[in-house]
Amino acid sequence: MRAIQIVTTRLSSCLRPIRLEFVSSSSPQLFSNTRRLLCTAAATKSNGGRSGSIVAPLVANEEGEEVQKIDVNPPKGTRDFAPEDMRLRNWLFNHFKEVSRLFGYEEVDYPVLETEALFIRKAGEEIRDQLYCFEDRGKRRVALRPELTPSLARLVIQKGKSVSLPLKWFAIGQCWRYERMTRGRRREHYQWNMDIIGVPQVTAEAELISSIVTFFKRIGITASDVGFKVSSRKVLQEMLRKYGVPETLFGRVCIIIDKIEKIPIDEIKKELGSTGISEDAIEQLLQVLSVKSLDDLEDVLGGAGEAIADLKQLFSLAEKFGYSEWIQFDASVVRGLAYYTGIVFEGFDRKGNLRAICGGGRYDRLLPTYGGDDIPACGFGFGDAVIVELLKEKNLLPELGQEVENIVCALEKDLQGAAATVATTLRSKGQTVDLVLESKPLKWVFKRAARINARRLILVGKTEWEDGSVSVKVLSSGEQFQVKLNDLE
Amino acid sequence: MRAIQIVTTRLSSCLRPIRLEFVSSSSPQLFSNTRRLLCTAAATKSNGGRSGSIVAPLVANEEGEEVQKIDVNPPKGTRDFAPEDMRLRNWLFNHFKEVSRLFGYEEVDYPVLETEALFIRKAGEEIRDQLYCFEDRGKRRVALRPELTPSLARLVIQKGKSVSLPLKWFAIGQCWRYERMTRGRRREHYQWNMDIIGVPQVTAEAELISSIVTFFKRIGITASDVGFKVSSRKVLQEMLRKYGVPETLFGRVCIIIDKIEKIPIDEIKKELGSTGISEDAIEQLLQVLSVKSLDDLEDVLGGAGEAIADLKQLFSLAEKFGYSEWIQFDASVVRGLAYYTGIVFEGFDRKGNLRAICGGGRYDRLLPTYGGDDIPACGFGFGDAVIVELLKEKNLLPELGQEVENIVCALEKDLQGAAATVATTLRSKGQTVDLVLESKPLKWVFKRAARINARRLILVGKTEWEDGSVSVKVLSSGEQFQVKLNDLE
């Protein structure tokens, strides 16, 4: 036994007692390393993402070896996916994929590491300040993507005339934001995106919302749990035009207005004022944003504009798609990304406990902004974090255990080869098999069988095997029988 | 029409003609941005990963607007996955997952961004020099993971006593290496890993190789295409012990020897000499590495050591698992990672055209090196690049087209809502539907139906719809009939 020095690296004050452990060196000391990496004991749960080590300092243990403190937690704000976490992630992603498939969308992906310039826009978005960017060894400015849409635009432009419009694409990708860590906010999340490239009509937005509704229904979420607030940026645009505000200010004004529920209204007014908009216009603008019905909006804007026409068409299509009860008009919705130009929407929980569940809209000017053709586009992003919170709250999280059909075990050490043959035979027939790789007591095997939810236990014993047979125990019923290996299905 | 200035950013000399384009500003000039991002025309194919822009400089176009050059290619050494690429990736990954499932392994994942310290080992591995590392905004040294095994070790230590051994885990994750770009080598690839934690016996390695063989068979690769070279690092270890070489040099010696086919033999000898090993020992070592049969190895090492015993057991188990013809002993295989301690293996193409297809082995000392308990472990990594090269060479790449069951189209603009109802009905029955979102001529619809391999075309016309019916055309046979929407399956 050799004592190992356990050093804590937590900088936060929430230190908990750390369990000291000893590493037993039962195996020969052949590989005693000159430098030993040590870790802090995993006293806290991993998903909190608490991790204090900034630089791993070198110290020496009692034997004079170099000891490097490393942390067993993933870097701050990131997650491990242990098997139980991964089962939930796969369950969620499979629903994303299955819905996208039902709607005839094709899956795509882009590099998680992109050129920084792709994400730099001047409208003052939150997303820019949170860019996970750095200079690589080749002195290139790169960034871990904070969202997928710019990469999509880049790929569409690159494909050019080689693809036929409309494109209907979906992606599930990890996105990164270097945020101050608060409860439940991490620095990475996965985002499901669906996008339609090349359709100028509101039918596109209507179908996108239909796909999200389909997703909600599949996982047990109803219209009384969740709704969509819908508006159009053309409302703001028509207001700005009315007051002679330069069109170049449009993106910036949208970003300011998106913060309306996060910062005090006086602050909003001040920020809007600093763009040069008159006080009168600001008051009118804020007035319009509080409108919650299309009729009232029509009273303000008049019936002629595109904003009203688009929204009316969307609500009419919602009825045909069958999700009227899910959506409502709300002029205050503008979304926080600079590139939206038309319909915008966000999914919210009706109890009001959570951040937006998903959001999207039309971004007809993004492709030309990058130098591409003037192709209309719209899409949405749907994160993997808030929805899980909602499912927890509604008690709708699925119970997902490991599922292996067979556990195969040799009853004697020299039958391990025979057990391997049995496992191979079953696997070749498409049966899943956990093969016990060591000599273990039967009690241990039954315990493992229960843990992995095995349906059958296949025991390979001497007398049966001489006859080419194995013992099968059906674990749910206790039924037991012998069968020739070749007859085992 | 407004002229847009196209600027090339390629630094390489392989400039090709660049297509000048004009952006038609047919939509109102409401969103003319103060800063316009421009991109180089996508004159070369994306997957070459050629990208020359280092910093996106700002220039002004004729109208005095700021113009930012951006590149439509993904960053150097990275890939986009357009739908056709993604279909191949999914096909490959699904085989990885299905095989892992057959063997009863649980899926896991870790952050693509890890603490740099996790990957720093002192043995002089190639992988360390190629670390994609940087300092984040919080001054932490982080790295895009170059491999998955250190994260696995971290998570196992973190889980501690809460998990029951053995663990059988698999993962498919993106890994990054900042390498000099040569033909066919990129800076990222996906890697399929399977690992067994907690089994000291060679049964574990034998099962891992069995799973790779199962994968090869599924995708049409045979034992005459591919083989496994197998050895044990205990061979080297026993040789070093014989010549009194300090055990602390073990990892370093393995890394040097792994380069034996890449650099001249004199260079290898020089490097080995610089560790302090005697010339005589070096000669003997190199002699042993050329041994290609277990019997010859036994002549050199004697029959008593663990190396021989392990290898004999592995070859015996290979027979029971049913893959004898796939494996052969080859003492020169040591693998390039410092942490292997026992059996090592690599998959190779028998024509010898390609780099190693996969590789793995036993790493019993990795967990204690990180401060964890002394738990035995082994695993393999299988990349997504070389296998695709091999499949191409063997003409085994699958033909994967888009597959949508129905294409639904309104015959008049004011029936688009009705078409939406038809699409929703079919989707609720589990049918995949591409809904035509615009008014398009029938010729266009047939062309699209062919491109997406639709099985049926559902037309929504005025007279039929008044009756609650639609026209169905089975595209393979040309058969056409009318059916009530509710009866449509």
Kindly report the nearest CA distance between residue B355 and chain A, in angstroms. 24
pLDDT at B442 over 80: yes
Task: Choose between A382 and B337: higher pLDDT.
Answer: A382
Higher pLDDT, A399 or B303: A399
CA–CA distance, B89 with A110 (Å, rounded to integer): 13
DSSP assignments along B210-239, one per residue: HHHHHHHHHTT--TTTEEEEEEEHHHHHHH
Q: What are phi and psi of B392, to 5 degrees?
A: -60, -50
- SS3 at position B287: helix
- Ramachandran region, residue A183 (left: φ > 0; alpha: ψ -120 to 50; beta: rest): beta
> What average pLDDT does the structure give for chain A?
86
Which tokens hold the place of B106? 């649980």
Task: Say if pTM beats, i.e. exceeds, 0.90.
Answer: no
pLDDT of residue A262: 85
Q: Say what percent of chain A tops pLDDT 70.
A: 85
A482 to chain B, closest Cα gap in Å: 21
Instruction: Give bridge partners of residue B115 from the DSSP assignment.
Output: B142
Q: Do residue B83 and residue A365 have CB atoms under 8 angstroms apart?
A: no
Question: Between A447 and B38, whose confidence is greater?
Answer: A447
What residues form DSSP beta bridges with A359?
Answer: A346, A381
Does A195 show up as a binding residue in the annotation?
A: yes
Separation CA A165–CA B219 (nearest Å): 33
pLDDT tens-digit profile of B125-181? 888 888 988 888 888 899 999 999 999 999 999 999 999 999 999 999 999 998 876
When pLDDT is cut at 50, 70 and 90, the band that residue A389 belongs to is: very high
Tell if the CB–CB gap between A30 and B250 is shorter than 8 Å: yes
Q: What is the ipTM of this complex?
A: 0.87
Whether residue A14 has pLDDT greater than 60: no
Mean pLDDT of A172-200: 90
Nearest chain A alpha carbon to B448: A164
Query: CA gyration radius for chain A?
Result: 29
Average pLDDT, chain B: 85
CB distance A321–B424 less than 8 Å?
yes
Model confidence over B346-390: pLDDT tens digits? 999 999 999 999 999 999 999 998 989 999 999 999 999 999 999
**pLDDT on residue A68:** 53
Tell me whether residue A130 is annotated as binding: no
Count CB atoms within 10 A of the CB of residue B34.
Answer: 13
Q: What is the pLDDT of residues B242-254, one digit of tens each?
A: 888 888 888 889 9
CB-closest option in B136, B139, B158 to A178: B136
In terms of phi and psi (left: phi > 0; alpha: psi -120 to 50; beta: otherwise), the region of B276 is left
Choose among B36, B39, B51: nearest Cβ to A157.
B39
User: Per the CB < 8 Å rule, is B155 touching A402?
Assistant: no
HSE at residue B169, side-chain half, CA atoms within 13 A, is 28
User: Does the annotation list A149 as a binding residue?
Assistant: yes
Q: Which of A188-197, A395-404, B177-186, B382-391 has the lowest mean pLDDT?
A: B177-186
- Are A420 and B320 an interchain contact pair (Cβ–Cβ within 8 Å)? yes
Please, which residues have CB within 8 angstroms of residue A22's CB and are 6 or more apart in sequence?
A: A1, A2, A3, A4
CB A291 within 8 A of CB A300: yes
Q: How far apart are CA A234 and CA A250, in angstroms?
A: 10
The residue among B140 and B329 whose pLDDT is bigger is B329
CB contact under 8 A, B247 and A101: no
Can you tell me the mean pLDDT for B338-342?
92
Looking at the complex, report in whole angstroms how far the Cα of residue A157 sits from the nearest Cα belonging to chain B.
7
Quick check: A114 pLDDT over 70? yes
Mean pLDDT of B457-462: 98
Of A134, A199, A369, the CB nearest to B33: A369
Is B112 close to A174, i.e. CB distance below 8 A? yes
Q: Is the pLDDT of residue B33 over 60?
A: no
Nearest-neighbour CA in chain A from B205: distance (Å)? 10
A340 is in an annotated binding site: yes
Tell me whether residue A5 is annotated as binding. no
Q: Using a CB-CB distance cutoff of 8 angstroms, which residues of chain B are in contact with residue A79?
A: 111
Nearest 10 degrees: Cα torsion A472, A475, A480, A485: -10
Residue A161 pLDDT greater than 60, yes or no:
yes
How far is the C-alpha of A190 from the C-alpha of A147, rounded, in Å?
10
What integer pLDDT is reported at residue B249 of this predicted model?
A: 87
Is residue B460 a contact partner of residue B418, using CB atoms and an 8 Å limit? yes
CB contacts of B445 in chain A (<8 Å) are: none
Q: Which residues of A touch B365 (CB under 8 A)?
A: 31, 33
Contact criterion met (CB below 8 Å) for A405 and A456: yes
Tell me the Cα Rg of chain B. 29
Q: Which of A78, A113, A119 to mutate to probe the B interface, most B CBs <10 Å? A: A113
What DSSP designation does B249 have? Answer: G
pLDDT number for residue B23: 30
Check CB contact under 8 Å for B374 and A25.
Answer: yes
Contacts of A58 in chain B (CB under 8 A): none
Query: Across the interface, which of A158, A322, A432 has its CB nearest the CB of B72?
Result: A158
Q: Residue A244: left (phi > 0), alpha (psi -120 to 50), or beta?
A: left
Look at residue A303 in the predicted model and tell me its pLDDT. 78
**pLDDT tens figures, B464-475:** 999 999 999 999
Of A13-17, A131-135, A256-260, A367-371, the range with the lowest mean pLDDT is A13-17
Q: Which residue among A34, A111, A365 places its CB closest to the CB of B74?
A: A111
Spatial neighbors of A199 by CB under 8 A, at least 6 apart, are A165, A166, A376, A378, B437, B438
Residue B344's H or E segment, with its range, is strand B343-349
Record: contact B424-A322, CB cut-off 8 A? yes
pLDDT of residue A55 exceeding 50, the answer is no
* Interchain pair A402, B106: CB under 8 A: yes
Closest CA–CA distance from residue A162 to any residue of chain B (Å): 11
**Which range scores top for mean pLDDT: A71-75, A166-170, B19-23, B363-367?**
A166-170
Per-residue pLDDT at A126: 80
Residue B32 pLDDT > 50: no
Distance, in Å, from the CA atom of B6 to the CA atom of B21, rounded to the nearest integer, reads: 8
Burial (0-12, 13-18, 19+ Cβ within 10 Å), A286: middle
Has residue B46 got a pLDDT over 80? no
pLDDT of residue B136: 85
Interface touch B70/A118, C-beta < 8 Å: yes
Q: Which residues of chain A have a CB within 8 Å of the CB of B38?
A: 370-371
Size of interface A-B (CB pairs under 8 A): 385
Mutate which of B66, B84, B115 to disrupt the A interface (most A C-beta within 10 Å)? B115
Higher pLDDT, B444 or B243: B444
Q: Does the distance separating the beta carbons of A421 and B322 come in below 8 Å?
A: yes
Contact (CB, 8 A) for B71 and B40: yes
Q: In which order are the strands placed within the sheet that holds A132-135? A: A113-115, A141-144, A132-135
In this prediction, residue A377 carries a pLDDT of: 98
- Interface mutation vs chain B, best among A32, A38, A39, A324, most B CBs within 10 Å: A39
Ranking A53-67, A340-354, A411-425, B315-329 by mean pLDDT, the lowest is: A53-67
Give the C-alpha separation, A463 to A198, whole Å.
70
Task: Give which of B380, B352, B363 is closest to B227, Cα–Cα.
Answer: B352
Flag whether B190 is marked binding: no
Q: Do B39 and A372 touch (CB under 8 A)?
A: yes
Closest CA to B68 of B1, B2, B4: B4
Question: Of B70, B62, B54, B60, nearest to B1 (Cα)?
Answer: B62
* Residue that wins the pLDDT comparison between B260 and B185: B260
The angle at the Cα of B147, spanning B146 to B150, to the nearest 5 degrees, equals 115
Q: Is the pLDDT of residue B49 over 70?
A: no
Residue A379: pLDDT band (50, 70, 90) is very high
> Is A317 close to B23, i.e. CB distance below 8 A?
no
Q: Which residues of B touch A200 (CB under 8 A)?
A: 438
Chain B interface mutation, best of A10, A326, A427, A434, highest count of B Cβ atoms under 10 Å:
A427
Q: Which residue in B has a C-alpha nearest to residue A306's C-alpha?
A: B28
Most B CBs within 10 Å, among A109, A205, A325, to test the B interface: A109
Peptide bond into A166 cis (omega under 30): yes
Per-residue pLDDT at A26: 34
Measured distance CA(A445)–CA(B34) in Å, rounded: 69
What letter represents residue B450's amino acid?
A: A
Choose the closest CB to B81 out of A74, A108, A201: A108
Residue A273's pLDDT band (boundaries 50, 70, 90)?
very high
As a whole number of angstroms, the distance between CA B20 and CA B41 comes to 8
Chain A environment of B430 (Cβ under 8 Å): 102
CA geometry: angle B41, B47, B53, nearest 5 deg: 50
- Tokens (6 digits) for B359: 């590789």
Half-sphere exposure of B389 (CA within 13 A, CB side): 17
Instruction: Establish whether B116 is an annotated binding residue.
Output: no
* The one-letter amino acid at A135: E
Q: Which of B115, B136, B420 sits opposite A206 (nearest CB)?
A: B420
Please report residues of B whose CB lies closer than 8 A to that of A176: 113
| pLDDT tens for each residue of B285-310 | 899 998 999 999 999 888 788 999 99
Q: Which residue has the higher pLDDT, B376 or B13?
A: B376
The residue ranking higher by pLDDT, B122 or A325, is: A325
pLDDT tens readout for residues A25-47: 333 333 333 333 333 333 333 33
Tell whether A148 is in a known binding site: yes
| Cβ contact, residue pair A102, B151, below 8 Å | no
What is the 3-class SS of chain A, one letter each residue? Answer: CEECCCCCCCCCCCCCCCCCCEECCCCCHHHCCCEEEEECCCCCCHHHCCCCCCCCCEEECCCCCEEEEECCCCCCCCCCECHHHHHHHHHHHHHHHHHHHHCCCEECECCCEEEHHHHCCCCCCHHHHCCEEEECCCCCEEEECCCCHHHHHHHHHHHHHHCCCCEEEEEEEEEECCCCCCCCCCCEEEEEEEEEECCCCCHHHHHHHHHHHHHHHHCCCCCCCEEEEEEEHHHHHHHHHHCCCCHHHHHHHHHHHHHHHCCCHHHHHHHHHHCCCCHHHHHHHHHHHCCCCHHHHHHHHCCCCHHHHHHHHHHHHHHHHCCHHHEEECCCCCCCCCCCCCEEEEEEECCCCCCCCEEEEECCCHHHHCCCCCCCEEEEEEECCHHHHHHHHCCCCCCCCCCCCEEEEECCHHHHHHHHHHHHHHHHCCCCEEECCCCCCHHHHHHHHHHCCCCEEEEECHHHHHCCEEEEEECCCCCEEEEEHHHCC
B330 is in an annotated binding site: no
Does residue B91 or residue B253 have the better pLDDT?
Answer: B91
